[in-house]
Amino acid sequence: MTDGALPEIRRWTAEHAAPGDVTLWAPDGLPEFRPGADLAGILAEALTADPHGLTDGDVVVLTSKVLSKTEGRIVPAPTDPEERDALRRQLVEQESVRLVARVNRTLITENRLGIVQAAAGVDGSNVETGELALLPTDPDASAAALAADLRRITGARVAVLVTDTMGRAWRTGQIDMAIGAAGMRVSVGYDGAVDRQGNELLVTDVAVADEVAAAADLVKGKLGARPVAVVRGLGHLLVDDDGNADPATSTDLAGSGSGTVAGSGSSADVPRTARDLVRDGESDLFRLGTAEALAQGRREAVPARRSVRRFSDAPVEPELLAEAVADALTAPAPHHSTPIRFVRVTGQARVRLLDALRADWERDLRADGHTGDVLARRLGRGDILRECPELIVPFVDDASGAHTYPDERRAACEVTMFTVAGGAAVQSLLVALAARGLGSCWIGSTIFAADTTRRELGVPDTWRPLGGVAVGYPAEPVPARAARPAGEAYLTIS
């Protein structure tokens, strides 16, 4: 992997363009395939009888529906539309390993082959009205078996592609793509190649199997009962079981004249199954649909907040801080009030504040009997507020909406209620910062030196400080928080 998200680009090994003309055709007259049919025998007879014939280097392309039928992946289904749809959804769930996106009634899933497509490939087209089709269980193995059988019957060294129709990210419409392959390179990487202008190619990796699958669909179509096509002129892409260019079909792709694939990399690295084209969920840049990504983000927003104590030197954009504070101010507050204040402390104001706080902390610690290394270690805990790129001091203003009561009990409850509101706002700020990729660490020190904090910052006497928040970009990746149950902290009383 290159960076944990993008698959490694394969080193340049060959030019994928055909050395000459490419010819495509689809034979008419193929029968309706059913479970148990002799697929190789039927195709061998039809393709050799066609005027084009079948020869070394040809690529036989067939729709997955042919294998679904011959391999018994056809499911009886009711003809009633609602009952049929209910069964189809049940089959989609059965064939899926992961829900990627849900758009109205359309489900995009990852199926057992690792392919992301609509409805896990469950399809009701080109089958009887009382049937639904599932994708083949192992189309790569089926392609390999068919290629071997065709060679045994006809003597021709051919590659086989199994295709299915699916949509594409960023584009409307569908095309045929390879979901099974045998006997040919499925992709050609150009990493390290140099173009005519002298530019080194870094990320180009051409999915030639998908290109061939899409081209073959131009002659197969969808309504003409032509589920099989032959592509001629691509013998240079054919390989043997070990990944070497087949000397009976291949011309040297880089002009060396050898019978092996030219360029760098070993034959063992040659991608030659459709599975090699599948990007797994962890490296998929579109692993979730929009709604699902937003839902996951909401679920992960709070646990993603971790205390960060080491920051990089990268400056924090002021607008990000302002946006996070605006989010934090949506926290609930008593009496429809707005008592929370966030103060960004910078420059000499930060130096003066932290120097004064340190003096207070040292006085208190010495009064507690701490000296020497213990004193230095305790004082050092506040260094994060000096070293962080940004410092925000939250306050709750007791004069902004708090009610007054004649008795101490209710007056104390009012203070507690506003303090809780302040805590909610502080937590909201920490979560909002994390959602923007910023690290933070809440330090409670200003609570123990409220008068000093107010004096140094010049804020009203009714403002109660609620600690300090160190903010910055984390110096290293923040590990995910291990999930843990609420346990004894969550009680039900009835």
Question: What is the residue-wise DSSP string for 118-183?
Answer: EGGG-B-SSS-TTEEE---S-HHHHHHHHHHHHHHHH----EEEEEEEEEETTEEEEEEEEEEEES
Would you say residue 455 has pLDDT above 60? yes
Q: Is residue 112 a part of any domain in this protein?
A: no
Min mean pLDDT across 244-253, 256-265, 307-316, 485-494 is at 256-265
391 and 320 fall within a common domain: yes
Structure tokens, 11 = 């080193």
Is the residue at 87 inside a domain?
no
**pLDDT for 293:** 84
- Let me know if 131 is exposed, middle or buried by CB neighbors in 10 A (0-12, 13-18, 19+): middle
How far apart, in whole angstroms, are the C-alpha atoms of residue 174 and residue 92? 19
- Sign for the pseudo-dihedral over CA of 228, 233, 237, 241: positive
Q: Does any domain span residue 31?
A: yes
- The residue ranking higher by pLDDT, 239 or 282, is 239
Q: Mark which of 269, 290, 311 sits at the end of a domain.
A: 290
pLDDT band at 257 (very low <50, low <70, confident <90, very high): very low
How much is the pLDDT for 265? 46
Q: What pLDDT score does 284 carry?
A: 78
Residues facing 415 on adjacent strands? none
Question: Crossing angle, helix 450-457 and helix 347-367, to 10 degrees?
Answer: 160
In a domain, 38, yes or no: yes
pLDDT score for 279: 86
pLDDT band at 259 (very low <50, low <70, confident <90, very high): very low
Q: Which residue, of 258, 290, 322, is where some domain finishes?
A: 290
Same domain, 376 and 414: yes
Is the predicted pLDDT of residue 442 greater than 80, yes or no? Answer: yes
Tens digit of pLDDT for each residue in 148-171? 999 999 999 999 999 999 988 888
Average pLDDT (481-491) is: 91
3-state secondary structure of 310: coil
- Identify the pLDDT of residue 401: 92
- Is 214 in the same domain as 272? yes
pLDDT one-digit tens code per residue, 354-391:
999 999 999 999 999 999 999 999 999 999 999 999 99
Give the residue among 246, 40, 219, 251 at the shortest CA–CA distance from 144.
40
pLDDT at position 55 is 96
Q: Is the pTM of this model over 0.75?
A: no
The CATH number covering residue 61 comes to: 3.30.1330.100
Q: Is residue 435 part of a domain?
A: yes
Angle CA 466–467–471, to nearest 5: 120
The reply to whether 4 falls in a domain is no
Co-location of 278 and 363 in the same domain? no
| Together in a domain, 275 and 334 | no
Give me the pLDDT at residue 10, please. 57
Tens of pLDDT, residue by residue over 67-80, are 999 999 999 999 99
* Same domain flag for 182 and 263: yes
Domain boundary among 290, 310, 338: 290
What band does 1 get if pLDDT is binned at 50, 70 and 90? very low
Residues 403 and 428 in one domain: yes
Which among 1, 5, 69, 58 has a CA at the least distance from the CA of 31? 69
Instruction: Please give the residue that has the higher pLDDT: either 465 or 281.
Output: 465
| Banded pLDDT at 282 (limits 50, 70, 90) | confident
Q: Residue range 211-233: average pLDDT? A: 95
Q: Tokens 């990007």, residue?
A: 279
Classify residue 349 as left (phi > 0), alpha (psi -120 to 50) or beta: alpha
Instruction: Tell whether 344 and 465 lie within a shared domain.
Output: yes
331-346 mean pLDDT: 96
Report the distance separating Cα 257 and Cα 262, nearest Å. Answer: 9
Compare 331 and 104 and report the one with higher pLDDT: 331
pLDDT given for residue 462 in this prediction: 96
Q: Strands 439-443 and 106-111, how do they pair?
A: unpaired
- The better pLDDT of the pair 242, 185 is held by 185
Structure token digits, residue 466: 């609620």
Residue 99 lies in a domain: no
CA 78 remoteness from chain centre: 37
Place of tokens 């009012």: 414
Residues 363, 415 within the same domain: yes
* Residue 319 banded pLDDT, cuts 50, 70, 90: very high
Tell me the percentage of the chain whose pLDDT exceeds 90: 73
Cα separation, 47 vs 154, whole angstroms: 10
Is there a contact between 76 and 130 (Cβ–Cβ < 8 Å)?
yes
Residue closest to 249 by CA, chosen among 262, 259, 235, 263: 235
Total domain count, the chain: 2
Residue 255 has pLDDT above 50, yes or no: no
- Give the C-alpha separation, 3 to 131, whole Å: 45
Whole-angstrom distance, CA of residue 396 vs CA of residue 394: 7
236 and 271 housed in the same domain: yes
Report DSSP state, residue 283: G
CATH code for the domain in which residue 478 is found = 3.40.109.10
Angstrom distance (rounded) from CA 302 to CA 432:
9
Do 261 and 402 belong together in one domain?
no
Rounded to an integer, what distance in angstroms lies between the CA atom of residue 38 and that of residue 32?
12
What is the rounded (10 degree) CA torsion for 199, 200, 204, 209? 100
In a domain, 15, yes or no: no
Judgement on whether residues 187 and 332 belong to the same structural domain of the protein: no
Structural domain range at position 412: 302-489
DSSP per residue, 336-405:
G---EEEEEE-HHHHHHHHHHHHHHHHHHHHHTT--HHHHHHHHHTTHHHHHSSEEEEEEEETTSS----
Angle at Cα 128 formed by Cα 124 and Cα 132, nearest 5°?
35
DSSP alpha helices (H): ranges in 221-334? Answer: 290-301, 318-328
- Is residue 466's pLDDT more than 80? yes
